[in-house]
Structure 1
């Protein structure tokens, strides 16, 4: 069986910060302590006005090459996961190929997935390597959700941050091997996390602001809308099934997993899932305090930090799980 291994990971956070103090000033009914206790987040990084997904991805890739002494000319495929591409067309991955000076012999494509995107990207990279299409796949995840969150949407502004991550998946050398994958989709949940008016279907529509009877912002179809209650219900039901199905496929018991790194949605939701699955707190890694929910980049950022903090030892098994917008979900196990 052809192996595929993660060789290196790096990430980039924009310089601009959105603190709980600043959010509390905008929404006085939410104190600093209430925001942090509800989300587990203290600071979010926000892309500047002239900073876009490709810029973040390029910065993350340059850091990957520099930190790990990787020859960019060895890259023979670029996978770019984003829901905030620079343009409707061309493909942002093509722009990235040119700006990174990666050989024109490399393949490059965008794929539109959110919180499950990193796991899906790893599965695509493994498939490309197994099919002998590529030997060194550069997987980039990058989002600038802040650009389509309404200024008065306190719920989403407290959760989401912008970021990018770069991962090199190689045929031979690497710190860990990609194992089995478990993937799933339920498009019936599409209305619960959506930007309605920026695609071809509703291209020319202009959304209006809607508020509740107390004057609290509800939604505008030009901006991101999230039904938090339905998303929480979805994760509570789908994620335990996802983990159990992957463990069954991999012929492993939950006690044999050394570390769990889930999509860093928010601390409350993650701890709810952890308790439901009866995962020990010491085996459950969280890293979102100083960057927020960065969508497809949460898992690689947390994985990089877990490695740096020596939470992962040789021979450890690490389970990754992403879930959210789509609905879409995916999980895999890394063997270190």
Structure 2
């Protein structure tokens, strides 16, 4: 049985507001765009800041609270699409920076907005198999480095940031009850990076169609398999894709918008870090017995859902 024990996150100091973008790109209608994205500012990594740096800072914040953890962690999963370098992996480089034991298993996964759910799926399986007991999931990206500065859609939407989620076999504030991950490779063209030195190419209409016609129906099916009514769920934590995407899910699932929190306004779309950061931001509201459904979706195209219960 796996639990989420705690979460910490780190955001770069540099903040790019819509007013800043308007000064640079006066031809962009940022006010109208914000109605669809929900984003009014985002944190941007400096030129010398990498996803590894952001992840390291997040883990440091966690270890400041739990110093003993550096000797107890036995697996480290680093989810990123913007690693410092092709090899070795960010997880191995972070292992060195944290001076962890040689007994710690380290590996990266190359997923984006579904990455946190996929990482939880892996951590849950490692704990269920008895192979691991204390796991760090580090989700970090610096999408600003692979965004065309002249692409209004992506530049206004994405921010940079990192989170670390401590998954434990020994208890926590949320118990993982059910988790599924899925893939539709035939839809991969909706969001691609053709070459390492190129820019992201996002088909916004295609992504929204994927959310509407694939993710939403599958989420309805997932909830039905839990044998609970959607009204019994206390919080729905979705990947912070955009306000338009969140509203699409609210409409398709006929949800109370008050049960679907978002932090897009001051953080933007933080890729694989979006869900754990949102969860950390509203963790004080979670009570024992609360039912939570999380869903992440994006590049691949891939998606996954998790059902958790407050302990």
> TM-score, normalising length from structure 1?
0.90
Show the counterpart of 2:25.
27
Q: Is the 8 A contact 2:37 2:242 kept in 1?
A: yes
Q: 1:325 aligns with which of 296, 299, 308?
A: 299
Q: 2:280 aligns with which of 304, 308, 311?
A: 304
What are the equivalent positions in structure 2 for 1:180-199 lying under 5 Å apart? 180-198=178-196
- More divergent stretch after superposition (130-139 vs 35-44): 35-44
- More divergent stretch after superposition (29-38 vs 252-261): 29-38
Q: Tell me the CA shift for residue 240 of structure 1.
A: 1.6
Q: 1:74 aligns with which of 67, 72, 75?
A: 72
Q: Tell me the CA shift for residue 70 of structure 1.
A: 5.0
Show the counterpart of 1:148.
146
- More divergent stretch after superposition (264-273 vs 298-307): 264-273
Q: Is the 8 A contact 2:233 2:293 kept in 1?
A: yes
Aligned length: 310
Q: 1:108 aligns with which of 106, 109, 116?
A: 106
- SS for the counterpart of 2:76 is strand
- SS for the counterpart of 1:80 is strand
Deviations 1:268-299 (A, max 9, x none): 22112101110001211111111110000000
Q: Tell me the CA shift for residue 68 of structure 1.
A: 4.6
The runs of 5 or more residues in structure 2 that have no matched partner are none
Question: In 1, Cα distance between the equivalents of 2:147 and 2:264?
Answer: 19
Show the counterpart of 2:259.
283
Question: In 2, Cα distance between the equivalents of 1:67 and 1:307?
Answer: 16
Show the counterpart of 1:334.
308
- More divergent stretch after superposition (265-274 vs 236-245): 236-245
Deviations 1:108-160 (A, max 9, x none): 00001000000111110010011111000100000011111111111100000
Show the counterpart of 2:82.
84
What are the equivalent positions in structure 2 for 1:114-193 lying under 5 Å apart? 114-193=112-191
Q: Tell me the CA shift for residue 72 of structure 1.
A: 1.2
Q: How large is the RMSD of aligned CA atoms in angstroms?
A: 1.3
- More divergent stretch after superposition (243-252 vs 283-292): 243-252
Show the counterpart of 2:216.
240
Where do 4+ consecutive residues of structure 1 move more than 6 Å?
none
Q: Return the index of the structure with the highest Cα Rg.
A: 1
Q: Tell me the CA shift for residue 86 of structure 1.
A: 1.0
Show the counterpart of 1:215.
none
Question: In 1, Cα distance between the equivalents of 2:186 and 2:224?
Answer: 26
Structure 1 pair 70–11 and aligned structure 2 pair: CA distance change class (3 A): farther
Deviations 1:215-255 (A, max 9, x none): xxxxxxx1110011111101111222221222133222211
Show the counterpart of 1:266.
242
Question: In 1, Cα distance between the equivalents of 2:13 and 2:220?
Answer: 39
Question: In 1, Cα distance between the equivalents of 2:309 and 2:100?
Answer: 29
- SS for the counterpart of 1:134 is coil
Question: In 2, Cα distance between the equivalents of 1:68 and 1:251?
Answer: 37
> TM-score, normalising length from structure 2?
0.97
Structure 1 pair 290–246 and aligned structure 2 pair: CA distance change class (3 A): same
Show the counterpart of 2:6.
8
Q: Tell me the CA shift for residue 107 of structure 1.
A: 0.2
- SS for the counterpart of 2:135 is strand
